[in-house]
Structure 1
Amino acid sequence: MNGRASSRTERESRLLQAFVQLADTLVDDYDVVDVLHRLVEHCVLLLDATAAGLMLSDQRGGLRVLAHSSAQTEMLELFQLKAGEGPCLECVHSGEPVHVPDLAAETQRWPRFAPRALEEGFASVHAVPMRLRRETIGTLNLFRRETGPLVQEDLLVVRALADTATIGILQERAIRRGEVVTEQLQTALNSRVVIEQAKGVLALAGSLEMEQAFQVLRTYARNGGRRLAEVARELVVGELRPQQLLGTKHGSGDA
């Protein structure tokens, strides 16, 4: 088998793993925060993307950053929300994909976001809505350091990943009625708050970067077959000591 064929086989295997993990959310209890972090990681591994992020709508109609492949991506997504402009916001508001093959050509369209993204080293962005029928609950966003469009195969994959993740977030009754399950979405958003607090505790105790602290938290939760939010809460309230988790500091945290 030549290198190209081997690479394609490996990609197909990873793609199958990604869809199997997302499909599990349809039939079993699952940790939505961890699932969505795995989703953005799959996007970086499988697609021609440097980084990926995911925003979800909250109960008040606002948007929150729920998953990201790097701290840099999180900050750029948060900057969009603060600036009130950018491809990801347009994607959510329109319910349609927003493809930006050259950010340098969009400085008038997004005078605050485009220069900031370029400063961070990104040259193109592709935002895909997480939508069921007429309801858009969020957006899956790909950031690239190269200009140019995504190839058709990658466009199909990211659309399918976004659609599968959307269905996994919605309950069967809500699917029938065409409504968003706001309680489940809000639980995920609230969980993110305590997870951020736990990351801070670990970062301080172990002199870690925030991304390193998150990987420690994920590894400990996965090794114990527990939810991220449960472990985070115990750490924040003192039921777990940071040292109990820091033993997993060198865990891979791979999906």
Structure 2
Amino acid sequence: MPAFVPADAAGLLLRSESDQLEFLSATSPRTTELELYQAQRDEGPCVDVVRSGERVEALGEDQVTGRWPTVGPAIIEAGFSSVFAFPLHWHGRAIGGLNLFAVSEEPLSEDSRQLGQTFADVAALVIVQPQHVDESDLLGNLRRALEGRVVVEQAKGVLAYQLDIDMAAAYDELLRRSERDSTSLTAAAAATIDEARRH
């Protein structure tokens, strides 16, 4: 996942039938400890996303410890400076949360946020209906998500060349086009590439 979303570790918590959060998986022992600590203390990014059903982000020690006075210091002590959490949705309800921990304090780009949510959505599907999920369907979902990221990067390159701007400014322009046309970032990127090919 770090190759596609700039995070250094990940963990999953699920809502149980008794409405308690239970640990499911993590990428490292220290991340496992953080996930278990959240469940025990009923505090943290996964707890928040399950309650609200909305994505949660905290960048830097002040935000992390300010938002979660008990769990936040443990996140910082584990060597992470930022955390991004995505809800696992099923039929309009958050059944769990995917936590991404990062050493840096850099925010996620919009395409990384979309990709993180895609991973969470696929995880929810696998958890809830494993017997109905074909491997090719899963690979297809992930492939589409990754292809979307590639399209965004290609469109940024096109805009940088056309407008003689750097990649950060090209990304801002792509966001502006997405908002202007009320479409997704990937769709705006595809339209930008198609337009360039026609000219």
TM-score scaled by length of structure 2? 0.61
Do the aligned residues in 2 keep the contact of 1:52 with 1:69 (CA within 8 Å)?
yes
2:51 partner letter: H
Q: Structure 1 unaligned segments of length 5 or more: list them.
A: 1-42, 173-255
SS of structure 2 residue aligned to 1:168:
helix
- The corresponding residue for 2:101 is 143
Which residue of the other structure, out of 88, 94, 97, is the alignment partner of 2:55?
97
Q: Structure 2 unaligned segments of length 5 or more: list them.
A: 131-199
Report the Cα offset of residue 166 of structure 1. 1.4
- The corresponding residue for 1:57 is 15
- The corresponding residue for 1:127 is 85
1:136 partner letter: A
Report the Cα offset of residue 112 of structure 1. 1.1
- The corresponding residue for 2:24 is 66
User: Against the structure 1 CA distance between its residues 70 and 106, is the aligned structure 2 distance closer, same or farther, given a 3 Å change threshold?
Assistant: closer
Identity in percent: 37
SS of structure 2 residue aligned to 1:67:
strand
TM-score scaled by length of structure 1? 0.48
Do the aligned residues in 2 keep the contact of 1:104 with 1:123 (CA within 8 Å)?
no
SS of structure 2 residue aligned to 1:111:
coil
Do the aligned residues in 1 keep the contact of 2:49 with 2:85 (CA within 8 Å)?
yes
User: Against the structure 1 CA distance between its residues 72 and 108, is the aligned structure 2 distance closer, same or farther, given a 3 Å change threshold?
Assistant: same
User: Against the structure 1 CA distance between its residues 109 and 167, is the aligned structure 2 distance closer, same or farther, given a 3 Å change threshold?
Assistant: same
Do the aligned residues in 2 keep the contact of 1:91 with 1:97 (CA within 8 Å)?
yes
1:96 partner letter: E
SS of structure 1 residue aligned to 2:75:
helix
Deviations 1:77-127 (Å, cap 9, x if unpaired)? 111122221111011111111011223234233111111111111000000
Which structure is higher in strand share?
2
Segments of 4+ moved more than 3 angstroms: none
Do the aligned residues in 2 keep the contact of 1:127 with 1:139 (CA within 8 Å)?
yes
The alignment's C-alpha RMSD in Å is 1.9
**Length, aligned pairs only:** 131
